[in-house]
Amino acid sequence: MKDAFGIPQSLLVLGGTSEIALATARRLIARRTRTVWLAGRASPALDTAAEQLRTQGADVRTVDFDALDPDSHAEVLGKVFAEGDIDMTLLAFGVLGDQAHDEADPLSAVRVAQTNYTGAVSAGLVCAAAMQTQGHGSLVVLSSVAGERARRANFIYGSSKAGLDAFAQGLGDAMHGTGVHVMVVRPGFVRTRRTAGLEETPLATTPEAVAAAVELGLRRRSETVWVPGALRVAMSLLRHLPRPVFRRLPI
Amino acid sequence: MSAEIAEPVTDDIVSVTGWGRTAPTAPARLVRPRSYEETARAVRDCGTRGGIPRGLGRAYGDAAQNAGGSVIQMTALDRVLSVDTEAGTVSCEAGTSLHRLMEVLLPLGWFVPVTPGTRHVTVGGAIGADIHGRNHHVSGSFSRHVLSLDLLTADGSVHRVVPGTPLFDATAGGMGLTGVILAATFRLHPVETSLMSVDTERATDLDDLMARLTTSDHAYHYSAAWIDLLARGSSLGRSVLTRGNHTPLAELPARARRRPLAFRPTRLPGAPSYVPEGLLRRKTAGLFNELRYRGAPRRRTGELRRVPAFFHPLDGVPHWNRLYGRGGCVRYQFAVGHGQEEALIRIVRRIVRRGCPSFLAVLKRLGAGDPGWLSFPMAGWTLALDIPTGPTGLGSFLDELDQDVAAAGGRVCLAKDSRLRPELLAAMYPRLDEFRSLRAELDPRAVFVSDLSRRLSI
């Protein structure tokens, strides 16, 4: 069960090798999380991640999960929930894609959309339904500021996150009053392995900062969390810029 | 009488929290039975995620909520069955509130044996949480006055449970996990008037306060001290000590003698449903504490106060818990035994150093412990404080305090708790294993489950 500060005792991570997710898991384990499920495609990276969390004293188990195979989600995730209550699910899988390459190869672009959006729709609904049955739980969805307004530089990724973000907001409304809390986290540019070598946008942040923001959001039972918080103001300005101006911005 | 039994009243599902308004969860069914048969049916039908009885929801934490299962609200079972004015006992259904009992009993010259800081608790809840009050040093906890109780257990049978049996000791303080209390009979305290004679004094620091409590507590039936936990330096632990007895009729002024047993609680407008986050923070707490300390008389004796003003000042403001905003508050209450005064002082120092914005910090000297296996009070000291959930790192800080409390052989109160780590529970409650094994025998299918029992693996 959650404690008074919203900290879960059991955590399910979808996208178990995500650096943001692991930073969040480490932070929550340091508080009181004891059981962690890492869901992802079986790989040495997933095992290493599990081993690292185990050294912190958590009971970590891995489960084979593929975002691109929605048919399997109900069964795979159903098994996890059957083992015991999950107090928090962190939906952290997603791919960045390569904008230039994906624009030339529509099938790769579809893959980005399928992973980030379609996969999240099925996994999110399965988890939300299971949490509704258990009467409690937090579903934390890692969205992105890229979904707030699509930029020329990464609109394929951005549009998939826009879909995910809208989906998660609607799901949050649907879950209101059921004991299930859906929280959308919108980080800006996060410095990770995945973004190494990419050009940073202003207000770049780190996985640890995202993890801290997630913990704060859980305590406040927030519906939306921006990381860093200043992005909330910046994005509300950008959102209202006329397109001819927005297009010319160096972001 | 109709042969058919109506369906128990089931509410639309909403999420449920304790009085601290932290960690809301939604039960699948919120049932309000109106008879013993309906209660039995509610227990039988509670499904795979079990059920838990709930009273008026004054437990701060998650003791009376059950995510995804049944919550059996007992407040419709509120009949006072009989009052024996000769022997001074009352029998009533479990959903009867102490407020209702005071309305009925005070005019007859009897008072409830133990009352906590609110009258709005049910008798079932009072036994389930084995509540204590300002008279613990002389009267012990609530269950010590219980002569018998009717308990509906997981198999659907009803047992008359009397003190001195394992089932009684597991139920008193058992947080509703042994079964549903349907009714109880307990002893009352005789009073000649409904007024209290109150002595107030200020203590300049913690040592002063503890010395005063130790030397003169026995002269009072009720005693508690409010501490300013934001005062530092030489005034660390400065406090206002309020102690009182029921006023005998002879001491009442002539005017009050016409209706010596009147019970007339006042009610102010309730707190609004939305209060901005952060209204009650360190600055407001500091100001409030300063005014409260300086506003209290240095020494005043024999002041007459009505029962609500002495015992339950906060009951005058309905929904006062909303003042903490959406994030709610954590009530931290712990007890340490005699001989552990050093630990108590150390913990108070830590709280002061940290500057927790605490409004309602109360120190009390407890009498002998009670037989309930999970009863909270132990002979020694208890400190309770309310803290809004706002400050960063508060959770870890309270975890550290738990370690200190456990190391000193103390414990935190389960009726208030919303955040204890399960690892520490067995150290704090040495008879936990007995409780677990009795529960396993009595309720093998784990029919009675709460968020508290899930969180702490009770």
Per-residue pLDDT of B251-266, as tens digits, reads: 999 988 999 999 989 8
Q: What is the CA radius of gyration of chain A?
A: 17
Phi, psi of B81 (to 5 degrees): -80, -45
Residue A134 lies in a domain: yes
Provide the domain limits for residue A189: 10-247
Q: What is the pLDDT of residue A93?
A: 96
Residue A206 has pLDDT above 80, yes or no: yes
Q: Do B26 and A179 touch (CB under 8 A)?
A: yes
Q: How confident is the model at residue B107 (pLDDT cuts 50, 70, 90)?
A: very high
Judged by a CB distance cut-off of 8 A, whether residue B53 touches chain A is: no
In a domain, residue A1? The reply is no
Its CATH class, for the domain covering B195-426, is alpha beta
- Residue among A2, A178, A220 minimizing CB distance to B327: A220
Cβ contacts (< 8 Å) between A136 and chain B: which residues?
Answer: 23-26, 67-68, 451
Whether the pTM exceeds 0.90: the reply is yes
B420 pLDDT higher than 80 = yes
User: Distance between alpha carbon B29 and the CA centroid of its chain, in Å?
Assistant: 25
A59: left (phi over 0), alpha (psi -120 to 50) or beta: beta
Q: Establish if A124 belongs to a structural domain.
A: yes
- Measured between alpha carbons, how far is B404 from B387 in angstroms, rounded to an integer? 19
pLDDT, position B3 = 43
Report the chain A residue with the minimal C-alpha distance to residue B451: A1
Taking each helix axis from N to C end, the angle separating B341-354 and B394-407, rounded to the nearest 10 degrees, works out to: 170
A5 inside domain: no
Contact list, A81 vs chain B (CB under 8 Å): none
pLDDT digit string, tens, across residues B37-65: 999 999 999 999 999 999 999 999 999 99
Range name among A5-14, B96-105, B276-285 with the lowest pLDDT average: B276-285
Q: What are the helix (H) ranges across B20-172?
A: 36-44, 98-105, 123-128, 136-139, 166-171
Say how many domains are in chain A. Answer: 1
Q: Does residue B1 surpass a pLDDT of 50?
A: no
Look over chain A and give the mean of its residue pLDDT values, rounded to a whole number: 95
Range B80-191 has CATH code 1.50.10.10? no
Could you say which of A37, A65, A157, A167 is catalytic? A157
- Structural domain includes residue A210: yes
Alpha helices in B341-431 (DSSP H): 341-354, 394-407, 425-428
Alpha helices in B217-305 (DSSP H): 282-295
Please state, in angstroms and rounded to a whole number, the distance separating the CA atoms of residues B179 and B128.
10
Quote the CA–CA distance of A106 and A74 in Å, as a whole number: 28
The reply to whether A157 belongs to the active site is: yes
Give the pLDDT confidence score for residue B357 in this predicted structure: 86
Least CB–CB distance from B421: residue in A2, A32, A132 = A32
Proportion of chain B above pLDDT 70, given as a percent: 97
Rg (CA), chain B: 21
Q: Give residue-wise pLDDT tens across range A157-199.
A: 999 999 999 999 999 999 999 999 999 999 999 999 888 888 8
Which pLDDT belongs to residue A215?
A: 96
Tell me which residue in A31, A132, A219 faces B327 most closely, judged by beta carbons. A219
Question: Which CATH number goes with the domain that contains A42?
Answer: 3.40.50.720
Mean pLDDT of chain B: 93
For residue A187, tell me if it sits in a domain.
yes
The DSSP bridge pattern shows strands A10-14 and A35-40 to be parallel
**pLDDT at res. B266:** 86
- Contact between A135 and B328 using a beta-carbon 8 Å cutoff: no
Share of chain B above pLDDT 90, in %: 84
CA distance linking residue B325 with residue B273, whole number of Å: 9
Measuring CA to CA, how many Å separate B99 from each of A234, B305, B332? 54, 17, 25
Is the Cβ pair A1, B455 closer than 8 Å?
yes
Q: What would the mean pLDDT of B379-402 be, rounded to a whole number?
A: 93
- pLDDT digit string, tens, across residues A57-87: 999 999 999 999 999 999 999 999 999 999 9
3-state class (DSSP) for residue B128? helix
Provide the pairing of β-strand B362-366 with B329-337: unpaired
Q: pLDDT: is B280 or A222 the higher one? A: A222
Residue B7 pLDDT class (50, 70, 90 cuts): low
- Residues A26-60 as b/e (b if ≥16 CB within 10 A, e otherwise) read bbbbebbbbbbbbbbbeeeebeebbeebeeeebeb
Residue of chain A nearest B14, judged by CA positions = A177
pLDDT digits (tens, 9 = 90+) for B139-166: 999 999 999 999 999 999 999 999 999 9
**Dihedral angle sign, alpha carbons of residues A146, A150, A151, A157:** positive
- Give me B214's structure tokens: 């130790």
Smallest CA-to-CA distance from A77 within A153, A32, A167, A16 is with A16
Instruction: Give the one of B25, B389, B399 whose C-beta lies nearest to A219's C-beta.
Output: B389
Task: Give the 3-state secondary structure of residue A182.
Answer: strand
Domain with CATH 3.30.465.10 in chain B: 80-191
What pLDDT was estimated at residue B10? Answer: 60
* Inter-chain contacts counted by CB atoms under 8 A, chains A and B: 84
